[in-house]
Amino acid sequence: MPVEKYETITVDVKSGVCVVTLNRPGKLNAINEKMSDELRAVHRWVEKSESVNVVVLNGNGRAFCVGFDLQEADDSDSIPGVLENRKILESDLELIMGFWHCSKPTISAVQGYCLAGGCELALACDITIAAENAYFGEPELRFGVGIGCMILPWLTGPKQAKELYFTGNDRVTAQRALSMGLINQVVPEGDALRKALEMAREIAVMDTDAMMMTKKAVNRSYEIMGMQQGMSM
């Protein structure tokens, strides 16, 4: 187990499955600077740990995650310029894609709202399981902020990605997300984490080297098509 004491997440490891829970339910699990730092620490630990074969990401409370904490940014004494904003977006991209690039399989279990950076975080996982009460969306442009991770076009195609970006629709149902190819399964309300853990346990007993090489091969096909370069600021 990681030795750090976390404030904004919880981490539990059992039988090769590492469950990471976003734990700011009062803020609908909005990602603040502390959570960002703690998720990065978990990324580093998971890569080195021989006790972890698969990662499950979920959120505590009535939302998976509503994105980055805009209130924290508003409370800042300084107003970032263009270059500083670019650095922030690059940092956000690195955090989110950490789940895509993780050498171990990653599964997100989504309930409630899954928006903006939270949506990107869930979709960057290898497998996404959503409850019937899940709502996805990318409302950043409505608030005049940049989109940290342009992963949608790579999952659903440019037409539907542009629709979601341009309209800022934050009520995309789990069934529509499934039809768009954004997620893998829709399960009854309250069952997302249970189903994710069930799948994670099946994956955890497989050969770890073969699993890592398979994931690397799939991801490499996207890299050849220019995914990382296309998403870079």
Q: Is 138 a catalytic residue?
A: no
Confidence (pTM):
0.93
Q: Is 140 a catalytic residue?
A: yes
Nearest to 160 by CA among 130, 186, 127, 137: 137
pLDDT in tens, the chain (233 residues): 565 689 999 999 999 999 999 999 999 999 999 999 999 999 999 999 999 999 999 999 999 999 999 887 655 556 666 566 667 778 888 999 999 999 999 999 999 999 999 999 999 999 999 999 999 999 988 877 767 678 999 999 999 999 999 999 999 999 999 999 999 999 999 999 999 999 999 999 999 999 999 999 999 999 999 988 887 75
> Which residue(s) pair with 128 in the sheet?
108
Concatenate the DSSP letters of all residues of 34-50 into one string: HHHHHHHHHHHHHHH-S
Which helix (H) or strand (E) element contains residue 128? strand 127-131
Q: Which pLDDT value is given to residue 229? A: 82
What residues contact 20, with CB distance under 8 A and at least 6 apart?
9, 10, 11, 39, 42, 55, 56, 57, 58
Domain parsing of the chain, residue ranges: 9-231
User: How many CB atoms sit inside 10 A of residue 199's CB?
Assistant: 20
CATH 3.90.226.10 fits 9-231, yes or no: yes
Catalytic residue chosen out of the listed positions 94, 120, 138, 189: 120
Tell me how far CA of residue 190 lies from CA of 64, 104, 134, 177, in angstroms.
12, 26, 10, 18
Q: Which pLDDT value is given to residue 134? A: 99
Catalytic residue chosen out of the listed positions 90, 140, 163, 198: 140
